[in-house]
A and B are shown apart, each in its own frame.
Chain A
Amino acid sequence: MALSGVEIFKHLPKTNCKKCGHPTCLAFAMKLAAKQASLDACPDASEDAKKVLGEAAAPPIRGITIGAGDKAVKTGDEICLFRHEKKFFNPTVFAVAIKDTEAGEAAARKIEAVKTSEIDRVGQKLRVDAIAVIDESGDAAKFASVVKQVVDGAPGVAIILASKNPAVIEAGIALCADKKPLIYAATAENAEAMAKIAKEKKASLALSADGLDALTALSEKVKGLGVDDLVLDPGARKAKDMVEQYTIIRRAAIKKNFKPLGYPVIAFPGRGDSVSEAMAASIGVMKYASIIVLNTIEKWKMLALLSLRQNIYTDPQVPMQVAQNIYKVGDAKENSPLMITTNFSLSYFIVRGEVENSKVPSWLAVMDNEGLSVLTAWAAGKFTASRIAQFIAESGVEKSINHKELIIPGYVAILSGTLEEKLPGWKITVGPREANGLPSFLKARA
C-alpha cells in the first residue's frame, strides 16, 4: 500500500541537508508520497529506509528513459487511469519503424523525416522522438548496417532495436550501446540471452508475449534475471485488444499495485493504410500506450497524432483560459468600442456572446489573469489599474483604433480614476456589472 508523506518522513534522515533539491526532509517526503520524486534523490537514505520505502515509494508504473543526452525520452511513471483524476505525465513516444530491408535510400528518407518532424504547437515543440530498427532479413550484418545509418544520420534520436534473435540485437547494440536503446524484445524463448544483453549494456528491455498471463510470467522471469527497466507488449494489434489489454495492464498496476505489469506499454498499430494506422495509433495515445511504433510518419499524420497527444496530456487542473489578446468581435473598425475582461474562459465566452448579440462590432481585450473571474482577479491583485494599463499600452491596440476609450467591467468601477492616471490621454468608461447588460449598453452608445 502507498505510504502517507508523514510515514515516509519518519524513515528519512531528517537532516534538512537539501541535497535532494527540496528545502526540507518533510517537503521531500511529501513529494515522494505524491509520487513526484524518487527516493534515489536522497544520498543519505539508510539501507533500512530504502528497503521499507523502496516498494512503497516506487511509482506504480516504472519510469523508463530511452536514449541519452538532450533528446532522451522519459516514459511511464503514470499514476492514474483517467486524465481528470490528476493528469497524464509523460507523453506517448512516437517512433517510426525502419526495416533492415529498407537499408539505403528508403531508410535515409525516413531518417530525414524524423529529423524534420518538429512542429511548434501552442508554444510546445513536438516531434517524432525515436526510430525503431526492425530485423526483417534475419541477417545481423544487414541489421547492423541500418543501425549505423540511423546512428550516423540522426545522432541523438532514441533508438529501439527490434529482433527476437539475440545475435542480431548484439550486432546492433554494439553500435549504439552508449545511447541506452530499448531492446524489443525478450520472449519466453530468448529471455535469458536478451536479459544478459540488456544487463551488460544497461539497456531497457521490452517483453513480448501472447496475452497477459504469458506476459506476467515473462515479466517476473526477466525481473528475476536482474533487469529492472522493462516495457510491455501483450501482443494487442487490433484496436479492441489494445483498449482491453492496455486498460487491464494500467488498472492492475495502479489499482492493485501489481508489480509484474507496472511498466510502460509499447504498441504496434502498423497498417498498410496510413489513415487506418493513424486511427489505431490514436487509440494507443488515449488508452495508455507509452511508446507507439508507426510504419510511416507523413507530416499530416504526425500533426494530427501529436496534437491529440498534446490535448490528452494537458494538465486538466490548469483553469480553462483564453490566450491574452485583443479579439475582434464582428466586423470591428477603428471607431468600434474597446472592452476589457479577464481570460477566465467562461467570462470570455459569455462577454463575447453578449457582444455578438448586441450586433455592435467591438474590440475585446482579454487580459491574462491566470483564468480568474473579474472580481476574484481584482481582489487577488491580478486585475489592477497598473496591470491593465501595462497590458493596454503594450498590446498595440492603439494601432487598430482611432479613439482612446476603454470600457471596464462594472464590478471594477473603482479602478476608473486610477486607470485614467496610468493611461494618460485615455477615457475610462464603466460598463455594466453583468455581461447580459452589454447589448443594451452597446446599442445605447451606437
Chain B
Amino acid sequence: MLIIGEKISVIAKKVREALQKHEPKPLQELAVAQAKAGAHFIDVSIGPAEENGPELMDWAVKVVHEVVHKPLCLDTTNIKAMEAGLKAHNNTWGAPIINSTSNEPERFPMMELAGKYNAKIIALTLGKGSIPADAEDRCVIAAEIMARGMEYGVPMENIFLDPLILQICTMQDQGRQAIRAIKMFQQLNDPPMQSVVGLSNISNGAPKHVRPVINRNFLAMLIYEGLSAAIIDPLDKDMMDTVKTVEMIMGKTMYAHSYLDM
C-alpha cells in the first residue's frame, strides 16, 4: 500500500508559519523524516492560498524536492497554484498526485490538469450539497468522476477514488460505509480502480487517547478490503507497524521475526 506522508499540512501551525515566511527548513525536515519513515509520496498542503498561490506552491515544491527525491502529493483548492506545482514538480522521481478533484463543479478543472500534466489524481466521492449516505451513493459519484476522467484523457489507473472519511463520533455509520466503498470501488474497472483515504478524519472530535486506537483499527480494516493508498503520519510507528502487519498477514510481504524493522 502506498503511504502519502501528511505532515506538511497548512493546518499545522509550524507549517503555516513556515509557508507564510518562506522558511524552507521546517518543510524540509518534515519531508526528510517522512521519506525515511517509509512515505512513498510527500503531501504538500498549502491551503487555498488565494493571494500568492502559484508562487507559494512553486516555492514549496522546489524546496521539498531539494532534499527528498520522491513524488509529491500537491494539496490545494487553488487551481492556478496546482498548475504551478505540477510545472515545478520534477517527474524523474515519479508522477505527482493532485489532491484533489470531486464531483463539485469548481473542482472539475483539477481533472483537466491531471490529463494535461499526466498526473495522478485523488477523487473525493463528494457531490454538491449533501454528504453521500452510503457506499452506493459513493459509487454513483465515482462513476461520474471516472466518466469525466475519460473525457479529459486521464487513464483510469491514475485515479485514486477517495470514499470521504467522516468523523465516527458524529456520523458513526459512515465509517462502515467507507469500508464497503473501498471494496466496491475496485469493481468499477478492470484492472481495479485504486483508492485512497485521508485516514485521521475518522477520529476527529474523539478524545486524544482514543484517536490512535480508532485510526489504526480502521486502517487495518481498509487495507484488508483492498485500500491502495493512505494519507497518514508515517512518523507514527504504531501506525506503520499496523500497515506492515496487515500486509504481512494478507501475504503481501513475507514474514520474518524482524518484519517490523524492514
Contacts and interface: CB of A to CB of B under 8 A. Distances in A.
Interface stretch (B26-34, B46-54, B231-239): B46-54
Interface string B101-139: 000000000000000000000000000011111101101
A375 B130 contact: no
A379 B140 contact: no
B213 interface: no
A100 to B, nearest CB: 45
Contact of B51 (A23, A33, A370, A418): A418
Interface in A376-392: 378-381, 384-386
A286 interface: no
Nearest to A415: B50
Contacts of B187: 4-6
Interface stretch (B66-74, B89-97, B141-149, B249-257): B141-149
Contacts of A16: 147
B77 interface: yes
Given A26-B188, A379-B11, A381-B78, A319 B51 contact: no
A257 to B, nearest CB: 16
A26 B141 CA distance: 11
Interface in B6-64: 10-11, 16, 20, 45, 47-48, 50-51
B32 to A, nearest CB: 24
Given A379-B10, A379-B11, A386-B50, A33 B20 contact: no
A86 B77 contact: no
Contact of A317 (B48, B133, B146): B133
Interface in A308-357: 315, 317-319
A30 interface: yes
Interface in B179-210: 184, 187-188
A24 interface: yes
Nearest to B150: A24
Nearest to A84: B173
Interface residues of B, number: 32
Contact of A33 (B11, B77, B139, B147): B139
A414 interface: yes
Given A34-B137, A317-B132, A375-B11, A381 B146 contact: no
A394 to B, nearest CB: 18
B131 A31 contact: no
A425 B136 CA distance: 50
Nearest to B136: A34
A30 B48 contact: no
A30 B143 contact: yes
A318 B51 CA distance: 31
A414 B48 contact: no
Interface residues of A, number: 33
A252 interface: no
A4 B134 contact: no
A380 B48 CA distance: 7
A30 B139 contact: yes
A29 interface: yes
A317 B187 CA distance: 25
A85 B171 CA distance: 11
Contacts of A385: 50-51
A49 interface: no
B50 A26 contact: no
A34 B77 contact: no
B48 A381 contact: yes
Contacts of B47: 378-379, 414
Nearest to A36: B140
A27 interface: yes
A317 B136 contact: no
A414 B10 CA distance: 11
Contacts of B51: 385, 418
Given A27-B147, A414-B16, A384 B184 contact: no
A378 B48 contact: yes
Interface in A13-33: 16, 22-24, 26-27, 29-31, 33
B133 A5 contact: no
Given A86-B133, A317-B131, A381-B77, A27 B143 contact: yes
Contacts of A319: 131
Contacts of A202: none
A221 interface: no
A418 B148 contact: no
B136 A5 contact: yes
A110 B246 CA distance: 69
21 contacts: A5-B143, A5-B188, A22-B144, A23-B143, A23-B147, A24-B150, A30-B136, A34-B137, A34-B140, A85-B133, A86-B133, A87-B133, A317-B130, A317-B132, A317-B133, A379-B10, A379-B77, A381-B78, A384-B50, A414-B16, A418-B51
Interface of A: 4-6, 16, 22-24, 26-27, 29-31, 33-34, 36, 85-87, 315, 317-319, 370, 375, 378-381, 384-386, 414, 418
Given A31-B140, A85-B133, A86-B133, 12 more contacts: A4-B184, A5-B143, A6-B188, A27-B140, A27-B143, A27-B147, A30-B143, A33-B136, A34-B140, A317-B130, A379-B45, A380-B77
Q: Which are the 3 A-B pairs with shortest beta-carbon distances?
A: A381-B77, A23-B147, A27-B143
